[in-house]
Amino acid sequence: MKNQSAAINVISAEKPCSIPCNLCGSVIVEELSLVDRDNRYLRTVICRECGLAWTDPRPEKEDMRRYYSKDYRLKYKGTFEPRMKHIDRAGHVVLSRYERVRDYLKSGMKTLDVGAGGGEFVYRLKTLGHDASGIEPNEGYAGYAIKEYGVNVQVGFIQDAELDDASFDFITIFHVLEHAEDPLSVLQKLRSWIKPGGTIVVEVPNIEAVCQAPVHRFHLAHIYSFNESTLVHMGRRAGLDAVEVKFSPDRGNITVFFRRADSGMDKPFEGGISGNCEHVLEVVNKHTSFVHFTSSYPYVRFFNKLRRIIDEGLSVGKFTSGKQILDDIFKSA
Ligand SMILES: [Zn+2]
């Protein structure tokens, strides 16, 4: 086991940062951690005013963009295109995501999935009769989605995408916002694309999660770390009202359902979020390796992962294409 105790290296002195807070604009921060999940140097700071956390300093924007368009899936999954086991896993993730959002969908909606990956969610919504499309920066995965499922996936970054104002009924952005260099501007862009009365679903990892080992809380690919308060307030700044908040059963993920607010897009943010920084610091500080490994979380996760690997091996062997795998998963839902 790596040096667990080094992972949460909380320093309480106020330290300067090179990037102002994306939510409130403050530059008064504390260092929250100095290492990433691989025990390499990664400085994560937290805003004293509102509790948003981010990587500071961070890689150049161009390096990050190249990483996501070419290298990201290769590094984490060892492949440019999704393999059968990845599609099987993604298909089951899609089912659980669909269950979370289905109450907000009505037949024939025009939908957009931002960070569409291999296109599984877009395909699911298309098969249910929606006018579904997606955006995905990774060329291999986006290309596979178009070729395998015949879905409409635009290859590129949301930051560069230009779509018609007020043209979508329903937008999803699962596990993308934490990777964006300017998440507030991403939410503002989504707000411009959603019709009045439409829904935007934003899901991110929860910085307060204690289901994973403390060493896994921060890593280079996640530039921003949110809790419920910072995500809801960032939506409000972008002109979006939170209408519902859901947590995954292990509280590792937060899903916020936003509606377009009647007021403007760049609402001023004054007064911070009282007590939120102190609250996050307390949660992170209390979640030590000792606490974690004497809880049930690591053992439940281990057995769930083992069961998933066995299930994937059993089901994937029967099929020769991604479409066959998804059709089989979706037909039983
Ligand atoms: Zn702030």
Question: Which mean pLDDT values do the consecutive 10-residue runs of the chain (333 residues) have?
Answer: 39 72 94 84 93 90 75 62 90 96 96 97 97 95 96 94 96 96 96 96 94 73 93 95 95 96 71 93 82 63 66 72 95 81
Distance, CA 233 to ligand 1 centroid (Å)? 10
Tell me the CB-side half-sphere exposure of residue 272, using CA atoms within 13 A: 17
| Dist. CA 169 → ligand 1 center (Å) | 31
Q: What spacing in Å lies between the alpha carbon of 256 and ligand 1's midpoint?
A: 19
Q: How far is the CA of 196 from the centre of ligand 1 (A)?
A: 28
Cα 68 to chain centroid distance, Å, stands at: 14
Predicted confidence at residue 246, as pLDDT, reads 98
Determine the distance separating the centroid of ligand 1 and the alpha carbon of 255, expressed in angstroms: 21
Report CA(113)–ligand 1 centroid distance (Å). 28
Half-sphere exposure of 81 (CA within 13 A, CB side): 10
Structure tokens at 174: 């699962």
Q: Where do we find the tokens 């862009």?
A: 189
- 50 vs 52: CA distance, rounded Å: 6
Of 312, 283, 288, residue with least CA distance to 5: 288
Q: What is the pLDDT of residue 33?
A: 87
Domains of the chain, earliest start first: 60-331 (3.40.50.150)
The residue with tokens 């992170």 is: 284
How far, in Å, from the CA of 238 to the mean position of ligand 1?
A: 15
Distance 329 CA to ligand 1 centre (A): 42
Strand order in the sheet with 29-35: 11-15, 29-35, 41-47, 53-55, 224-225
What distance in angstroms lies between residue 253's CA and the mean position of ligand 1's atoms? 21
C-alpha 131 – ligand 1 centre gap (Å): 38
Contact at 8 Å (CB) between 81 and 63?
A: no
Is the Cα torsion angle 189, 191, 194, 195 positive or negative in sign? negative
d(CA 48, CA 326): 45
Instruction: Kindly tell me the sign of the dihedral angle through the C-alpha atoms of 35, 90, 305, 301.
Output: positive
* Distance from residue 234's CA to the centre of ligand 1 (Å): 10
Task: Report yes or no: 46 and 17 within 8 Å, Cβ to Cβ.
Answer: no
Given this model, what pLDDT does residue 6 score?
38
